[in-house]
Amino acid sequence: MNIKTVDWKRGRMRIVDQTRLPEELVYIECRAPEDVHDALRRLAVRGAPAIGIAAAMGVVLGARRSKAADAAGLMRDVRKAARYIGTARPTAVNLFWALRRMLETAERHRAGGPRALTRLLEREALAILEEDNAVCRGIGRHGAALLRDGDAVLTHCNAGGLATARYGTALAVVYAAHEGGKRIRVYTDETRPLLQGARLTAWELARAGIDTTLICDNMAAKVMGEGRITCVITGADRIAANGDTANKIGTYGLAHLARAHRVPFYIAAPLSTIDPATASGRGIPIEERDPDEVRTFAGRRIAPRRVRVYNPAFDVTPARLISGIITEVGVLRPPYRRSIAAALRRDRR
Amino acid sequence: MNIKTVDWKRGRMRIVDQTRLPEELVYIECRAPEDVHDALRRLAVRGAPAIGIAAAMGVVLGARRSKAADAAGLMRDVRKAARYIGTARPTAVNLFWALRRMLETAERHRAGGPRALTRLLEREALAILEEDNAVCRGIGRHGAALLRDGDAVLTHCNAGGLATARYGTALAVVYAAHEGGKRIRVYTDETRPLLQGARLTAWELARAGIDTTLICDNMAAKVMGEGRITCVITGADRIAANGDTANKIGTYGLAHLARAHRVPFYIAAPLSTIDPATASGRGIPIEERDPDEVRTFAGRRIAPRRVRVYNPAFDVTPARLISGIITEVGVLRPPYRRSIAAALRRDRR
């Protein structure tokens, strides 16, 4: 049912080329670190978990192509591949996390020969992928318990299978409820300026047989006012220790609108998205992006050339507007400082 | 300073071709009813007041081109022109209002010769234009008193000069405050799906020398949360007797967000927008438009071809979320049922 966004087949990485969606479903095979670097760079793969998995597989491809006769030579080639892949998306946290994990694995097993080491690296990359699937399935299972037959979920941006290896976070909840036999309808915001909701979420939901309706971002309030929505579920880019959540621009407004219409507002994200070192949303830096993302579309100008633009990529939703945070270990509830700390403590054991 | 969106020069109607904005400022000269019909049909002129004025001028063009030797013959040609222009935008209320007013003028003066009648029709069309300017200036004057030096206004869609003969409604307030020496900043939502905010509002504000920032619709909440906005002002398509207001989709959400951030939310509209026969917002029908407006962006497909779309063109903001209605006779305040009735009574005297 679900698309395998990132997959590993016979020594090659296979990914969905997201730049071609929704027009066509095209897979790309990557055989060398250069292919992975290119795919990351032109956003053929996106979404923090998917980026991490692709980076790990890129390191494996570097090891497989190495001609080194001993482990030391292989280590040199592996480090070189990791360094190179790290330049593709310099701000992606998951990318560096995955590369570090691969290098640590390599260091631990450098006593073995190059072929054994390559096999171990391949196993580690597949472990990262499997862990992602398990985490997403966990989020789906816990979230699905919140949904009833006939519910209608509003979502924003793409927190779906296309952002992870396969199941997604916010959409994992929908998929799990659907698999459990509940009829769930989804309204998806198109999500300006990059339109991930229209291009990716609408596409993957329709493909999974979910009843899906696309709206413009400014229609969410009306749809809630008409009583069409039973809950809002979005993903997260970073969650602070107090539950404040950074996510795609527009999420903060949806949270206010949900509150005004007495609609529950949930965040769905793995525990790894929680940053206990960030005390509150005030500590989360918000990236401002190129004004031309707003001034143009697909090469066509839609606004005056020199008009000033404000284009923040994310916003921060305060914890008080969040009804629950759906994670792989359960749904965390307010007060979040306590429930988040407890979940992280249990997870570390 | 302000562009003359619709104007009359030496027996011809001159309009700004809004389909060419923001890329270039092109004027079209209309010499015959056919030219006006075409301009209305392809949305070269839009906005209820501007449509009414253009229709009235189309009737004058019909009279001027008539070869009739007597008033009866001219009346036939004038009626024919009015009927034909009426087919261009069959749901536009102002169009029929203007055509009816022109035909009534013709009937009243049919005793005179054809040349005198043509002159009287020309005078009536110019009166409609002048009345629009006076009404918009009145809205501007009353609204400007609400703004202080340094204020920042958020607006939605285009309720500007491009929707009227020259000054606009919501933007008339900004222009009047600016002319009065107040520094006013404006944030304009791009206004999906048809992008009137990006294409038209950003263009006309920048041209008038107003400090303007373009945002996507889903950024309005963040901009308010950052304390950047001191009030929201939008236009209106129809106002019910109790103050409930239909306007471009997205207005309702902005009103909720303004309330949540304690930002005053104003509607700016002529008294003619108030429909005393409509008791409340529940009586206002909301047009649903072509799904392809949402599935495509500036001509390019951005969503799966067959995905279901919900595309309401308007929404209704309940009176309780509206801080004031800025009209040509003053700012109406809650309770609206009373203040609206009083304003209409005074206006009829």
Percent of chain B surpassing pLDDT 90: 87
Distance CA(A224)–CA(B194), nearest Å, equals 22
Cβ-contact A129, A53 below 8 angstroms:
yes
B212, B294, B301 member nearest A190 (Cβ): B294
Cβ-contact A14, A28 below 8 angstroms:
yes
Cβ-contact B330, B274 below 8 angstroms:
no
Show the tokens assigned to B18: 């809004």
Please state the φ and ψ torsions of residue A300, each to the nearest 5 degrees. -105, 135
On average, the pLDDT of chain B sits at 95
Is-catalytic flag, A275? Answer: no
Distance CA(B38)–CA(B132), nearest Å, equals 23
Minimum Cα–Cα distance from B198: chain A residue: A303
End-to-end Cα spacing for chain A: 34
Q: Do A297 and B294 touch (CB under 8 A)?
A: no
Distance CA(B179)–CA(B138), nearest Å, equals 14
Show the tokens assigned to A235: 């993903």
Question: Which residue, chain included where needed, has tokens 């769905």?
Answer: A268
Q: Strands B300-301, B314-317: parallel, antiparallel or unpaired by DSSP?
A: unpaired
B199, B218, B259 member nearest A249 (Cβ): B218
Q: Do A294 and B216 touch (CB under 8 A)?
A: yes
ipTM of the complex, rounded to two decimals? 0.92
Which pLDDT score, from 0 to 100, does residue B233 have? 98
Q: Which residues of A touch B192 (CB under 8 A)?
A: 190, 192, 216-218
DSSP E strand stretches across A137-263: 152-155, 185-189, 211-215, 231-234, 238-240, 245-248
Could you tell me the pLDDT band of residue B297, with boundaries at 50, 70 and 90? Answer: confident
Per the omega criterion (within 30 degrees of 0), is the bond before B335 cis?
Answer: yes
Give bridge partners of residue A288 from the DSSP assignment: A312
Q: Do A303 and B199 touch (CB under 8 A)?
A: yes
Sign of the CA dihedral running A221, B237, B223, B319: negative
Show the tokens assigned to A12: 């090659």
B298-328 pLDDT, tens digit each: 778 899 998 999 999 999 999 999 999 999 9
A296-316 pLDDT, tens digit each: 877 788 999 889 999 999 999
Q: Is B263 helix (H, G, I), strand (E, B) or coil?
A: coil
Distance CA(A171)–CA(A158), nearest Å, equals 8
B206-264 pLDDT, tens digit each: 999 999 999 999 999 999 999 999 999 999 988 999 999 999 999 999 999 999 999 99
For the CA atoms of B75, B77, B78, B79, the dihedral, rounded to the nearest 10 degrees, stands at 90
Q: Which residues of A touch B303 (CB under 8 A)?
A: 22, 190, 198-199, 202-203, 214
Higher-confidence residue of B97 and B94: namely B97
| Å between B299 CA and nearest CA of chain A | 9
Cβ-contact B258, B232 below 8 angstroms:
yes
Which pairs with CB-CB distance under 8 Å and at least 24 residues apart come from A101-110? A101/A56, A101/A128, A102/A55, A102/A56, A102/A59, A102/A60, A102/A78, A103/A59, A103/A78, A103/A79, A106/A63, A106/A75, A106/A78, A107/A75, A110/A71, A110/A72, A110/A75
pLDDT at residue B1 greater than cutoff 60: no
* Residue of A219, A252, A284 for testing the chain B interface, max B β-carbons within 10 Å: A219
Show the tokens assigned to A258: 């949900």
A256-284 pLDDT, tens digit each: 999 999 999 999 999 989 999 999 999 98
Q: Do B302 and A22 touch (CB under 8 A)?
A: yes
Could you tell me the pLDDT band of residue B54, with boundaries at 50, 70 and 90? Answer: very high
pTM of this structure? 0.93
Please tell me the number of Cα atoms within 13 Å of B198 on its side-chain side.
28
Taking one residue from A and the other from B, the number of pairs with CB-CB distance under 8 angstroms is 186
Cβ-contact B171, B138 below 8 angstroms:
no
B110-139 pLDDT, tens digit each: 888 899 999 999 999 999 999 999 999 999
B22, B256, B306 member nearest A303 (Cβ): B22
| Å between B31 CA and nearest CA of chain A | 30
Q: Do A192 and B312 touch (CB under 8 A)?
A: no
Q: Which of B35, B77, B132, B237 is catalytic?
A: B237
Report the CATH architecture of A6-136: Up-down Bundle (1.20)
Q: Do B310 and A214 touch (CB under 8 A)?
A: yes
Domain boundaries, chain B: 6-136, 139-348
Cβ-contact B77, B33 below 8 angstroms:
no
3-state helix, strand, coil in chain A (%, to 5): 45, 20, 35
A120-173 pLDDT, tens digit each: 999 999 999 999 999 999 999 999 999 999 999 999 999 999 999 999 999 999
| Å between B147 CA and nearest CA of chain A | 22
A319-335 pLDDT, tens digit each: 999 999 999 999 999 99
Least confident of B58-67, B222-231, B340-349: B340-349
Mean pLDDT of A40-56: 92
Q: Do A253 and B252 touch (CB under 8 A)?
A: no
Cβ-contact B183, B211 below 8 angstroms:
yes
* Residues written for chain A: 349
Cβ-contact B13, B54 below 8 angstroms:
yes
A219, A297, A304 member nearest B297 (Cβ): A297
Minimum Cα–Cα distance from B216: chain A residue: A192
B136-177 pLDDT, tens digit each: 999 999 999 999 999 999 999 999 999 999 999 999 999 999
Which pLDDT score, from 0 to 100, does residue A199 have? 95
Q: Do B304 and A195 touch (CB under 8 A)?
A: no
Distance CA(A275)–CA(B328), nearest Å, equals 54
| Å between A187 CA and nearest CA of chain B | 9
Q: Do A217 and B215 touch (CB under 8 A)?
A: no
Distance CA(B170)–CA(B136), nearest Å, equals 9
Q: Do B214 and A309 touch (CB under 8 A)?
A: yes
Short-list B202, B190, B203, CA closest to B156: B190
| Helix (H) or strand (E) run with residue B211 in it | strand B211-215
B139-348 is classed CATH 3.40.50.10470: yes
B252, B253, B303 member nearest A199 (Cβ): B303
Give residues with Cβ within 8 angstroms of A308, minimum separation 6. A291, B211, B212, B213, B214
Q: Do A214 and B309 touch (CB under 8 A)?
A: yes
Minimum Cα–Cα distance from A205: chain B residue: B307
| Å between B95 CA and nearest CA of chain A | 28
Mean pLDDT of B321-337: 98
Could you tell me the pLDDT band of residue A1, with boundaries at 50, 70 and 90? Answer: low
Q: Do B219 and A191 touch (CB under 8 A)?
A: no
Please state the φ and ψ torsions of residue B131, each to the nearest 5 degrees. -60, -40
Give bridge partners of residue A330 from the DSSP assignment: A327
Show the tokens assigned to B61: 């063009």
Alpha helix (H) residue ranges in chain B: 33-41, 48-65, 71-86, 93-108, 114-144, 170-179, 196, 202-207, 220-225, 251-260, 292-295, 336-348
Q: Which residues of B touch A315 (CB under 8 A)?
A: 219, 221-222, 225
Short-list B162, B156, B222, B145, CA closest to B186: B156
Minimum Cα–Cα distance from B223: chain A residue: A310
Residue type, B329: V
* Residue of B23, B201, B216, B247 for testing the chain A interface, max A β-carbons within 10 Å: B216
On average, the pLDDT of chain A sits at 95
